[in-house]
A and B are shown apart, each in its own frame.
Chain A
Amino acid sequence: MIDVKELLRELREEPYEKISIRAPHSGKVEFVAKEPGVRVVGPSGTWKEVPGTLLARLERENVKKPLHAPQKGEVMSLGEIANGQFAQAGQELMTIRHYLTREEVISRILRRSLSLFLAPEKGKYYFFPDVDIKIKTKGSQSVHIEDGMELFILSRMKREASIRYSGPSGIIYAVYFDTNDSVERNSPLIGVCPEDQLGQIQEVVSRVQSDWEERD
């Protein structure tokens, strides 16, 4: 069993995450958050339907795409691009310093406690359709998986291949990839928890919930 106390101590030493805000596509940038120190909030609401603080707008073909803060925090620095200039896709616009939330701390600690299934190859991953539907409707923790089960579709170079899960049986406790993102080889795809260890995992979760303080 992992040492939750020790992990929490480590995280308390560096409780921030630096989030880089990059241009999702090319276009002319118009900053709204114009200087370091500006406090921002992430999306809120039951379904995260309320977008976070507006950071900038990116214009292409007369369409202005708003860029919102993905997390709560403070603007640390602005990128090398000036207001009104043309940003190329992927260019850094600013960085945000974000204080880790309870959920994120739980997720980081669970990554060390769950059995991780790693991407066997670089490519885009999708769940098999029936698993996908179950995850979307009932959440990933409703899915029980077993060694040898066809679980993923790997798409690369315009071809698809099915990938079997190998590892202990259990439920999919956490999903670590986004559909349409290219996943590097050996990056974790899912974290699996055998049913008989669910109690221990729950314990970790409640421990963090009581020990980690949220910050405004």
Chain B
Amino acid sequence: MKNPSESKKHKVLIANRGEIAIRIMQACRKLGLAFVALFTEPDKHSEHCVLARKLGGDESLFRVSSYLDANEIFAVADQAGATAIHPGYGFFAEDYRFARRVAQRERKLIFIGPSWQVIRELGDKINTKRLARKLGVPTVPGSDKPVTDDLEAENIAKSLFEFQKELGVGNPVILVKASAGGGGMGIEEVPDLDKFRSVLRRIKSYSKRQFRDEGVLIEQRIFDFNHLEVQILSDRTGQNPVHFGTRNCSVQSPGHQKRIEVAPGFDPSSLRYAFDAKKVIEDITEYSLRMAREAGYDSVGTWEWIVSPTGQPFLMEVNTRIQVENGVSARIAAIKGKGDVDLIAEQIRVGLGAPMGYTQKDITLNGVGIEYRIIAEDTDNKFAPWVGRITSFGWPEQDWLKMHSQVPTDREYEIPTDFDPNLALAIIWGKDLAQAKERGVEFLNSLTLQGVNASGEAMKSNVEFLKRKTEGILAF
């Protein structure tokens, strides 16, 4: 594998915070690249600042007013002599306008992520759906463009009810969404065609009022599904994508935020499924690669799938970024027999223009990985974030355990209130599902995590929730 630092001395600006900033720094070090990190006032005690200073000295850390001020990020990039920007996840990661600016500004930089055209193409759910349908990839049944005509809407609704009846769904339900809406606004469930007409009218007028747009999307509502992902990587040629297997992200909070991710996505070797799970995994992987090839995908990315209880997969969306849970796929992967894969380092390497250097047959997957997201939250009270100070945090080292965290273990830490209260990612490996689960529980039992809030109350975390959910992992 050619190291990008051999051809040109690159310096990567890390436009992110917390554990992902730490992982990017470590990946840069692995590749022999210089980096510059950012922090804002509330993050000044984060471990990512400590590590940036330790690895790169004071000049590798800049204080900014916000992680979302593009002008400021560029000013720091110029001042520090950065040649590339890694957006991490969140913030600017999937903002094609930002990626375009990075590539087209006066002093050009490299965006470590897909090219802006790819982000624009696949960042739009309707575009993605159209591309999928063109390639024969199944998507959640429903409209593939905003519908404004009532008759057309009714025909789509009718066909969706009939389709579900054919599938044997007892109580079919469809969703009517304001196409310009988002974040759960302007969505209603409809159980039959009679109710559909009144809901359609309501959503249309709501949408017109709120967004000055009458378009609606009509989709099948899929119940009790599993949420799977396919991890894709491709170099800048966009022609030779490979996959690093699947993940199952079905353990979520009530707000649909992921809490446990498992690789691979199903385990037919130890569990019984009502469908051919091996085939589902093969199918969604093949579909994802087909789309990546067609779109000229040129970075890491994730294809997100819904799998129905009858084993039917539907493409939900494409995430054109490195994801929080990338490490769990990396943990079970080996390239040319060499384990300890680092997908972030791979993303940087190919992002800077190095060729992939291996093909699908060089990638092997071994064992089961579980990732726990350890979060300060009250799982008995709608998963409300817990605010306070962590007084002790630690765990026994294990060769099957990897921890990623911005929370220091050698001093107290006030959780910043400006961001999600995510504390750590714990990635556990086992030779099979049973061993991974056993080690997972062992880890959770041995974890020290204590804190206190301003009223003197003890810390609340999701550790017990994670323990409880471990038993049923991958069962469907």
Chain A interface residues toward B at CB < 8 A: 24-28, 59-61, 63, 86, 88-91, 121-123, 156-159, 161, 182, 185
Contacts and interface: CB of A to CB of B under 8 A. Distances in A.
Contacts of B419: 157-158
B312 interface: no
A59 B454 CA distance: 40
Contact of A63 (B71, B79, B418): B71
Given A121-B454, A122-B387, A25 B417 contact: no
B21 interface: no
Contacts of B66: 25
Contacts of A25: 64-66, 69, 71-72
B62 A26 contact: yes
A88 B418 contact: no
B420 A27 contact: no
Interface string B384-424: 11010000000000000000000000000000011111000
26 contacts: A24-B65, A25-B64, A25-B66, A25-B71, A26-B65, A26-B72, A27-B75, A61-B70, A61-B75, A63-B71, A89-B40, A89-B41, A89-B64, A89-B65, A89-B72, A121-B387, A123-B387, A156-B385, A156-B418, A157-B385, A157-B387, A157-B417, A157-B418, A157-B420, A182-B418, A185-B454
A60 B385 contact: no
Given A26-B72, A26-B76, A185-B454, A88 B384 contact: no
A106 B454 CA distance: 32
B64 A61 contact: no
Nearest to A88: B63
A175 to B, nearest CB: 21
A63 B74 CA distance: 12
B268 interface: no
Contacts of A158: 419-420
Contacts of B42: 182
Nearest to B384: A159
Interface residues of B, number: 26
Contact of B72 (A27, A123, A156): A27
B417 A26 contact: no
Contacts of B71: 25, 60-61, 63
B65 A60 contact: no
Contacts, number: 73
A24 B75 CA distance: 14
Contacts of B75: 26-28, 59-61, 86
Contacts of A90: 41, 63, 65
B52 to A, nearest CB: 13
A159 B420 CA distance: 9
Contact of B387 (A26, A89, A156): A156
A123 B64 CA distance: 20
Nearest to A154: B417
A161 B378 CA distance: 14
Given A24-B65, A88-B63, A161-B384, 8 more contacts: A25-B66, A26-B64, A26-B76, A61-B71, A61-B105, A121-B387, A182-B42, A182-B418
A61 B74 contact: yes
Nearest to A156: B417
Contacts of A27: 72, 75
Interface of B: 40-42, 62-66, 69-72, 74-76, 79, 105, 384-385, 387, 417-421, 454
In the A-B complex, list the 8 residue pairs whose CB atoms are closest, starting with the nearest: A60-B75, A157-B385, A156-B417, A61-B71, A89-B65, A25-B65, A88-B63, A86-B79
Nearest to A23: B65
B146 to A, nearest CB: 28
Contacts of A89: 40-41, 63-65, 72
Contacts of A63: 71
A60 B74 CA distance: 8
A89 B79 CA distance: 13
Contacts of B385: 156-157, 159
Nearest to B255: A159
A68 B385 CA distance: 39
A163 B454 CA distance: 17
Contact of A26 (B63, B70, B105, B418): B63
A59 B64 CA distance: 14
Contacts of B40: 89
A192 B76 CA distance: 44
Contacts of B105: 61
Nearest to B385: A157
A156 B387 CA distance: 9
A91 B64 CA distance: 10
- The winner among A27, A88, A157, A158 for most chain B CB atoms within 10 A is A157
A27 B76 CA distance: 7
A182 B417 contact: yes
B72 A122 contact: no
A60 B72 contact: yes
Contacts of B79: 26, 28, 86
A161 B386 CA distance: 13
Nearest to A183: B417
A161 B384 CA distance: 10
A25 B73 CA distance: 10
A8 to B, nearest CB: 35
- The winner among A89, A156, A158 for most chain B CB atoms within 10 A is A89
Nearest to A27: B75
A27 B75 CA distance: 6
A185 B388 CA distance: 11
A129 to B, nearest CB: 15
Contacts of B421: 157
Contacts of A156: 385, 387, 417-418
A127 B66 CA distance: 24
Contacts of B76: 26
- The winner among A26, A28, A182 for most chain B CB atoms within 10 A is A26
A185 B420 CA distance: 19
A25 B74 CA distance: 12
